[in-house]
Amino acid sequence: MTLFVPEGGFPIGNEIVIKYPTFDKFIHSRKKERVKIDDLLAGMDTTMKEEIPADTFIRHNNKIGTELGAPSDTSTGTVDASRLQRIEFGPQGPTVLHSIFQKLGEASAAKKNVRILHYGDSQIEGDRITGYFRQRLQAKFGGNGPGMIAAFNQYHTMSFVQTVSPNFKRHTVFGEVSKEITHKKYGSMGTFARFTKYVPDSLLSTLESTEGWIEIGMHKQAYGNSKKFNRVRLFYGNCRSRVEMIVSNNGQVIHEDTLIPDGNYHVVELLFENTPEQLRYTFKGKDSPDFYGFSLDGNYGVTIDNVAMRGGSGTFLGKCDGNLMSRMYSDLGVEMFIMQFGGNTMPYLKDAAASKQYANYFQSNLNTLKRLRPGASIIVIGPSDMSTKVDGEYMSYPLLGTLIADMKQAAFNAGAGYWDIYSAMGGENSMLTWVEKGLAGEDYTHFSPSGTRIIAEKFWEAFLYEYQQYQKGVQP
């Protein structure tokens, strides 16, 4: 067979190609040299997880007890630059991050809020990478709470606990978009939830009253700073009829109200003397509003929202209502975006032209973020090493290097920084070693929990290094 089958295989129809090893490959089986990553892993501090660093309605008193937000990490040591995979920049250099660095430096002393929004695909699902980076930042610059969480979270996470009534349904702007939704108001997380089916205004009068609830609380295994929060905000919109809301903590009613039925975007804020243990928001009405999510924060300091978009490519902003996104970014106080995408695009790229086309779409979304939130910094994190089978052997996707180069240029064109997670883990075929060491899963794409802490620590060190250079006034 090795003598008769062509090297490229022979086609059957338009889509199937039968391949067989060539005579040379059959006799001289290729042995792939494993990428050594021991030097990359040496000295990594990933033990942080062990630190556990005029009506009859009842109205919540909205009192704050002990203020939350003070930093706990007072160390002044510098990062070892020799071990870094540094953040890369275009013509503007590190100045594209100076705005966020200034705000981080002022957060604690001035008791200001600084928010970072981490968009990404399934690589960050369940607060992976984000959670570790959040704890490092909050320990260094102050801050508490897991930040913004979806009204209906469908992914496992250790940053908070949430349950919802069975009649709640999640709608997203990414993945499979619901056909019953006729608007583009998805909010800053690209998702909202409802406890009734969406119907046209003309049918509202025919509906019967129903009830739905959302319960949220602190997760005992969360990172230390995420366990404490005393400022809880509910974000909602598209409320078209009377909806009553009852909020209880540990079963005791603490607040009653009605949501504003004008169809616009609104925020309900509750302040607490101590971290609430188990909050339940119960809603009753004929038609559900669109609930965009909750923010669980401290008084001041840094907050990082984890927005995982399973199957997403980072090109979702054109499908969202820009006015709503801009208002939410402003209310939340977003000062930096992290855009971590590319992994879902890689398997579908046919050639270099397709890679370039995707990068152009991605750059357009970066420019949209700049327009919706002027002055905010952006860091792009492209795809990690990913393996696919070629002639029966796992190896890096052939076009992965091309995609990374195109995404890097797109970031530079948009005035963003780029952190090369692919190079940080060892480059081409490094995923094979990460899998062998238990640092990545058998899908040869996603990191394991231990691998996640390592890669998150590498990103933290790269970010901290640039901050320290900023403090010194050092230019590259």
Q: Averaging pLDDT over each range in 20-24, 67-71, 158-162, 183-187, which range is the top one?
A: 183-187
The one-letter amino acid code at 249 reads: N
Rounded-to-integer distance, Cα 24 and Cα 2, Å: 9
Encode pLDDT of 419-475 as tens digits: 999 999 999 999 999 999 999 999 999 999 999 999 999 999 999 999 999 998 865
Rounded-to-integer distance, Cα 245 and Cα 261, Å: 12
pTM of the full predicted structure?
A: 0.88
Rounded-to-integer distance, Cα 45 and Cα 139, Å: 15
Whole-number percent of the chain with pLDDT over 90? 68
Per-domain boundaries in the chain: 1-30, 31-53+56-472
Q: Find out whether 299 and 230 touch, Cβ atoms under 8 Å.
A: yes
- pLDDT for the residue 311: 84
Rounded-to-integer distance, Cα 229 and Cα 365, Å: 32
Write down how long the chain is: 476
Three-state DSSP at 251 gives coil
Whether residue 203 is predicted with pLDDT greater than 90 in this model: the reply is no
Neighbours of 209 (CB within 10 A): 13
Whether residue 66 is predicted with pLDDT greater than 80 in this model: the reply is no
Rounded-to-integer distance, Cα 12 and Cα 10, Å: 7
- pLDDT for the residue 175: 77
Structure confidence at residue 46 as a pLDDT band (50, 70, 90): low
Q: Does CATH place domain 31-53+56-472 in 3.40.1080.10?
A: no
